[in-house]
Copies of this chain bind each other. A is one copy, B any other.
Amino acid sequence: MSDSTEQPEYPPELSEEQGLFLTSQILDWQINHGSLLKRVQTQTDHSVLSHPIGVTVFPTLFPRAQFHRALELQSIYNELYCAVAQDEQWIFEAIQDLLPIDPLAAVLWNVHQQVQKAGYSQPVSAGIFRSDYMLHADRPSDLLRNPEVSLKQVEFNTFSCAGGSHADKVVKMHRYLARTGAYEDSVQLSALPQNDNIEQLADCLAAAHTAYGGKSDTAVLFIVQPNNFNIADERPIEYALWNREQPVPAYRLDFGDVLECTSLAGTGELLFHPPWLSKTVEISVVYMRAGYEAHEYDETGIAARVRLEASLAIKCPSLLAHICTFKKIQHALTGAGVLERFISEEKAAFIRSTFVKMYSLNESDARRLATDPILSKDYILKPSLEGGGHNVFGDAIPDFLASIPESSWGAYILMERIPSPLVMNVLLSSLGIDSGEVISELGIFGTCLWKQGEMLQNSVAGWSFKTKHEDVDEMNVVKGYGCFDTPLLI
């Protein structure tokens, strides 16, 4: 009469043969479908090595209701951030404390002011956003036996959102394993949602290309970081653009080469002069996959960003939408009545239900929580930068704050940790294979096109699902701290 007789364990215990079979199916599938990371340090002029990106061996349990709730939320989040991105004054107030202490915020605001002076020439913006959530369990419990949990937002990314292509492929991999019987009875194909990020993200860029005029001699320009090990996340979107029934030309350009390889026409068009082709190409859409780190903005970087922003090309996203990726914006939106400034009351309530408590370290309450070794356990200290990798967790916060000048505390946001339900899985990556308790993060991709406050297009594109061991703080798959995954909906 124990629980286990009613509910089989998940994932099932594997024999040695079963484990070897699954990992060999997975690694071969990854090699054959570009689910890989380039080892850039091995790159020569003629070859380069790759290794499979981290993936879960099984899909991870996730409540179906919360999955659909996250999808439903996305078009409201898109609407919210498009509205915020039009409100220069509100943005300035939300981030002004950052400007003296955060070099990236300062440089972006400075670029904004420079372009503003001459006037932005392109009223249309495109957005590829990603809202990240975790499951919140009121009390520690096994998800399989007590799926009563809620959805809490970790962060909202407006700039250079990665992982779309990898997520797309890993879902197809888990679905392949399920439909070929590799999981036997433990995974039903119908419980694995489909995902078409690659096509959907390309659709967004193609729609922006059309909004620009859609001429076949104009092109989308991906602004990228040099020597990128993660080309398997960027390139598929480029291929999808070229592969459309009406092909959309797409090129790549290192952010550092923008000044040298582009020019502005007298009438504002962004002209691309690829040094490897004998022609000049007018750029319809600038898709930013670089320019999110302060070190990219030396004098050349600043001038490059000014040129891109000043041009007639549609930016994905606009500069103000980029700034909305700062945690200070996420924090400011949690203020009383703030959401209602941008969206309807009903929508605001829905969005607000995903918020956890966030504090600025200007508040004395927050300082008390953050400097207390006991109280700080329930919090994460986040810098206002995009993406992970810079967060400070729990009882490490007091020592960290003590190590930096108090004048720079204002760059950080203190955020409640999200207590997760218990789920198990087996994680496979270049670092090893391990089973145990895991924590997942669901990211929903939203794409949109807007013109000075008016939404021209608003779509839920797809999603990413990432899982790490419960005892690892950071979720960063490309650096090895986690795996791409698929929710097994229950």
Interface residues of A (CB under 8 A from B): 15, 17-23, 27-29, 31-34, 36, 38-39, 45-52, 176, 179-181, 184, 231-232, 235-236, 239, 242, 247, 249, 274-278, 428-433
Given A21-B276, A235-B28, A276-B15, residue A51 in contact with residue B49 (CB < 8 A): yes
What residues of chain B lie closer than 8 Å to A36, measured between beta carbons?
31, 50
What residues of chain B lie closer than 8 Å to A23, measured between beta carbons?
45-46
What residues of chain B lie closer than 8 Å to A235, measured between beta carbons?
28-29, 32
Other contacts beyond A27-B48, A180-B249: 17, CB < 8 A: A15-B275, A17-B275, A17-B276, A20-B45, A27-B47, A29-B239, A31-B36, A31-B48, A33-B34, A46-B429, A46-B433, A47-B429, A48-B51, A48-B52, A49-B49, A50-B51, A181-B249
Q: How far is the CB of A162 from chain B (nearest CB, A)?
A: 15
A22, B432: Cα distance in complex, Å: 35
What residues of chain B lie closer than 8 Å to A428, measured between beta carbons?
46-47
Closest chain B residue to A37, Cβ basis: B31
What residues of chain B lie closer than 8 Å to A275, measured between beta carbons?
15, 17
A278, B183: Cα distance in complex, Å: 11
Closest chain B residue to A433, Cβ basis: B46
What residues of chain B lie closer than 8 Å to A31, measured between beta carbons?
34, 36, 38, 48, 50, 231-232
Q: How far is the CB of A371 from chain B (nearest CB, A)?
A: 41
Q: How far is the CB of A425 from chain B (nearest CB, A)?
A: 14
The answer to whether B46 touches A432, judged by C-beta atoms less than 8 angstroms apart, is yes
Closest chain B residue to A18, Cβ basis: B276
The answer to whether A239 touches B277, judged by C-beta atoms less than 8 angstroms apart, is no
Q: How far is the CB of A229 from chain B (nearest CB, A)?
A: 11
A239, B39: Cα distance in complex, Å: 27
Q: How far is the CB of A490 from chain B (nearest CB, A)?
A: 23
A309, B50: Cα distance in complex, Å: 39
Some 27 contacts from A to B, beta carbons below 8 A apart, are A15-B276, A17-B275, A17-B276, A22-B276, A28-B231, A28-B235, A31-B34, A31-B38, A31-B48, A31-B231, A31-B232, A32-B34, A32-B231, A32-B235, A32-B236, A39-B49, A46-B428, A46-B431, A46-B432, A47-B429, A47-B430, A48-B52, A49-B49, A50-B50, A179-B242, A181-B249, A184-B277
What residues of chain B lie closer than 8 Å to A429, measured between beta carbons?
46-47
A259, B277: Cα distance in complex, Å: 58
What residues of chain B lie closer than 8 Å to A231, measured between beta carbons?
28, 31-32
